[in-house]
Amino acid sequence: MLRYVIRRLLLIIPTMFFVALITFSLAHLAPGSPFDKNPNRPLPEETIAHLERYFGVDKPIPEQFVIYIGNLLRGDLGASFVQRGRPVADIIGQGIGITAQLGIQALLLALAFSIPLGIVSALKQNTPIDYLSLLIATVGTTIPGFVTAIFLIYIFGVGFHLLPFVGWGSWQHTVMPTFVLALGPGAFLTRITRASMLEAIRQDYVRTARSKGLREQSVIVGHALKNALIPVATIIGPATAGLITGSFIIESLFNIPGIGRFYVLSINQRDYPMIMSTTLLYAFIIMIANLTVDIVYGALDPRIKVS
């Protein structure tokens, strides 16, 4: 196991390099200049040339990439083009805590309702409870998060003034974005949990356990549930990374000062250092989440060997 983990961790290095190469190339090959964003009031060409020399974007793209990798290896993420040369590390440090808090809250909420709902739905198959859970899962899966967010903002924010929908600070600010962010993954996890549980309770080892006279609770918890959670763990890993790193639309809608919102702004404003740093951070989190899932496989089922 240890050799497998070390090998996977070492593979992160070339993967991150290629992510950096592709992202850097696409960002710099896009037409336009990051310093001329307002077509109605364009900057003088002399000013744009001075800014490009100051930030080093007047050099050939291969040379810029080599300089960027060298700075990255020293822990220098560069300075933001838009926020007056502010270090990108400071911007990410300011927003990562908020994004992580929002993502973890959404993950806990998704797990809190999806796994119990999926288990109950499987045990009560073809009953009103099962049909209700399938309805919730279908609605949560098919309706995009930003559509749900708009409805919630209109109803609870604008209509009844029950919850704030702009900014971040109190727990009331977290209610709507957490629910919206958790709804999609939670609905999908409900369907996966139900399907996995249905398959598990029909296995021979479950019938054998019941024939031995074990209590139904012991059969479900001790035999069926552990194996049913293996496919669920497959989804939880990427879902965790997605909730932590993929909240940029929700953060933009609710004006939450997390790195997701900064990421959207950096793309619109062609803030190359910010685009590079956030993309690499997202890629790293996703790879660590996938590695964690593989390790959890072995813990849930000893038959699964990693090598």
Q: What is the pLDDT of residues 224-281, one digit of tens each?
A: 777 787 778 777 777 777 776 657 788 888 888 888 888 888 887 888 888 899 889 8
Q: What is the pLDDT of residues 100-144, one digit of tens each?
A: 888 889 989 998 988 899 888 988 888 998 898 889 888 888 888
Cβ-based neighbour number of residue 215 at 10 Å: 11
Measure the CA–CA gap between 27 and 67, rounded to whole angstroms: 16
Whether the predicted pLDDT of 305 surpasses 70: no
Q: Pick from 81, 142, 15: which is nearest to 267 by CA?
A: 81
Instruction: Tell me the domain boundaries of the chain.
Output: 2-73, 89-300
pLDDT of 66: 92
Torsion of CA 130, 132, 134, 136, to 10 degrees: -150
Is 130:262 a contact under the CB 8 Å cutoff? no
Is 257:166 a contact under the CB 8 Å cutoff? no
Q: In which band, very low, low, confident or very high, does the pLDDT at 307 lie, cut at 50, 70 and 90?
A: low
Percent of the chain with pLDDT over 70: 91
Is 277:266 a contact under the CB 8 Å cutoff? no
Whether the predicted pLDDT of 300 surpasses 70: no
Residues β-bridged to residue 87: 79
pTM of the model: 0.79
**Looking at the domain 89-300, which fold is it?**
MetI-like fold (1.10.3720)
pLDDT of 14: 93
